[in-house]
Structure 1
Amino acid sequence: MNKPPVVQEIKQSHVQPKPVTQQELSTHDWIKRYIQDNTLVRLIVNRYGGQRSIPCRILNLDHDNSLLSVYHVDEKQVYSFKMNEIDEITS
């Protein structure tokens, strides 16, 4: 027996989305979420042959140029890094 369309719509509107796991999100999705939530993260960056650890907030991700702009919370400065310079992002 088929239920009327109205009942089906009501049931579907009450379905909660399942939580997203880390495996289901790409790096770019995580970065977008960090930007949206204004999350404090730590970047491990390899630049000029040396590795730096930077506590920061991510401001922008430029997909076309593969650039990540961040605000260094200790130095109160904005830096831009190419995605290939970033070794790790942790929250």
Structure 2
Amino acid sequence: MPVLWLDIPQMLIDAGVVSNLYAARTTSNYALMWSQGAQLDLSKSSTNLHRARLRKIGIDIKKPYQGELYSLEDSRSIIAQRNSIVS
């Protein structure tokens, strides 16, 4: 089942992978770029850092993207639905 892109920061924090929201959001942006077909330079240490963080929650940005994430638009729609249920 795909993961909501907007849920990734909280997943990283909950799993103890990162300790702050800034680091979590930065790492989630790598997942978003990967899902949109960006060529990530895996020879860079920063890319490998974010890859390692994402792998801890089951997302490997080295592998070809195969629908592991909902799109940004779908994520927003799902979040809006969640919020309407809570309200």
Task: Identify the TM-score tier after normalising by the shorter chain.
Answer: under 0.3
Higher strand proportion: 1
Q: What is the TM-score normalised by the length of structure 2?
A: 0.25
**TM-score, normalising length from structure 1?**
0.24
Higher helix proportion: 2
